[in-house]
Amino acid sequence: MDLDHVYRGKRVLVIGGLGFIGSNLAQHLVRLGAQVLIIDSLVPDHGGNMYNIANIRDKLAVNITDVRDQHAINFLVRGQHYIFNLAGQVSHIGSMEDPLADNDINARSQVYLLEACRQHNSQARVVYTSTRQFYGVPKYVPVDEAHPIEPTDVNGITKWAGEQYHLVYHRAHGIPTTALRLTNVYGPRQVLKDAEGRMGVIYHFVRKVLASERLRVFGSGEQLRDYVYVDDVVEALLLAGAHDEAIGEVFNVGGLRPVSHLQLVQLLLEAAGLPTDQYELVPFPPERKAIDIGSVYLDSTRIREAIGWAPTTDLAEGLAQTFAYYYEHKAAYWDAEMVATLQEGSLQAGNA
């Protein structure tokens, strides 16, 4: 499908568009000639970063607001042809520390958005980023969409609720929605602030490498995961928005192939230009072992058959691009205070 033809000149709302995936999507949409409006709350620790769009700041519009602001959402959805709904509280630990905020952002606010669509713009194509996380401890791998839903934390509950709201609003009200359950996503533009245990393993390792710290792998490092490069996710989002076959559907978006933690570390060191033996195996700390879910990776057959998407970026290649980006732009992703300072005054600068 010619995505250029689909999105050129169209009004596209990217909710969470200053974040990791959202900003990569916005970069791509601008290249396709879309009229992009980004909504982001810049909630600290949620990943929003004005630097992510600094290079295209004069080619799109930015509106700072929170998805919990119902009036703002009611206004901002109007007139949009496409709505990519990527905002969310994604930290599992954060969800246990503040379960109400987790409900408000991931579940309650999704009702705001869907009601706003129903009342003010029921034709806009809505694509929601869901997660593999609520499959819980896998009963089998690869995990397909029919796998039981058994969330292990509050975040899994609220993300599933947010996803299901999208599907119910399609069935009951005809809102053309699609939900994508993403596996671990990696690539440029992810904030690299130190947040032990709050982000995925690949994020953790990338930060360690950039900090010149030694990598530690728990246990035997044999657990398998899949990783999908952010450009592949952007393509999945764009295809989902473009294909009528995706309406009312939920699709897994997985990686090319499962990779062990050990393989990941070696690929990562290689991509970073470091000796591939600069890691150590350490025994599983009991508190980590207790929450380890073993091997988990997704079956992406349904989305391939429905709309022709499959991941194409090899992990070695994706990691090389990731390090290339961070070697050049590390300062803008490293330190929370510095990131905030870089963003001061950037709204007016962009609009000038």
Contact residues: a second copy, CB under 8 A: 96, 99-100, 103-104, 107-108, 111-112, 114-115, 146, 148-149, 151-154, 156-158, 160-161, 164-165, 168, 171-172
CB closer to a second copy, 161 vs 342:
161
Q: How far is the CB of 130 from a second copy (least distance, A)?
A: 13
Q: Who's near 23: CB < 8 A, 6+ residues apart?
A: 17, 38, 49, 52, 53, 189
Burial class (CB in 10 A: 0-12, 13-18, 19+), 68: middle
One-letter amino acid of 275: P
Please report how close the Cβ of residue 253 comes to a second copy at its closest, in angstroms.
20
State in angstroms the smallest separation of the CB of 114 from a second copy. 8
CB of residue 8 to a second copy, shortest distance in Å: 35
Nearer to a second copy, 173 or 208 (CB): 173
- Of 108 and 125, which has the nearer Cβ to a second copy? 108
Nearest Cα to Cα of residue 320 among 267, 243, 250, 262: 267
Distance of closest approach, residue 322 Cβ to a second copy, in angstroms: 32
Task: Report, in Å, the least distance between residue 36 CB and a second copy.
Answer: 29
Q: Which is nearer to a second copy, 46 or 159 (CB)?
A: 159
Nearest residue (CB) to a second copy, 47 versus 136: 136
Identify which of residues 158 and 184 has a Cβ nearer to a second copy in the complex.
Answer: 158
CB of 113 closer than 8 Å to CB of 120: no
Q: Is 305 buried (19+), middle (13-18) or exposed (0-12) by CB count in 10 A?
A: exposed
Q: Which is nearer to a second copy, 75 or 327 (CB)?
A: 75
Q: How many residues are listed for the chain in this entry? A: 352
What is the spatial distance between Cα 59 and Cα 36, in angstroms, rounded to a whole number? 8
Task: Kindly give the pairing relationship between strand 11-15 and strand 82-85.
Answer: parallel
Q: How far is the CB of 69 from a second copy (least distance, A)?
A: 14
Q: How far apart are CA 47 and CA 36, in angstroms?
A: 19
Pick 65 or 164: Cβ nearer a second copy:
164
Least Cα distance to 314 among 135, 215, 187 occurs for: 187
How would you classify residue 47: left for phi > 0, otherwise alpha for psi between -120 and 50, otherwise beta?
left
Tell the smallest beta-carbon distance from residue 146 to a second copy (Å): 7
Alpha-carbon distances of 126 from 18, 136, 181, 250, rounded to whole Å: 18, 26, 14, 12
219 DSSP assignment = T
b/e map 140-177, b = 16+ CB within 10 Å: ebbbebebeeebebbbbbbbbbbbbbbbebbeeeebbb
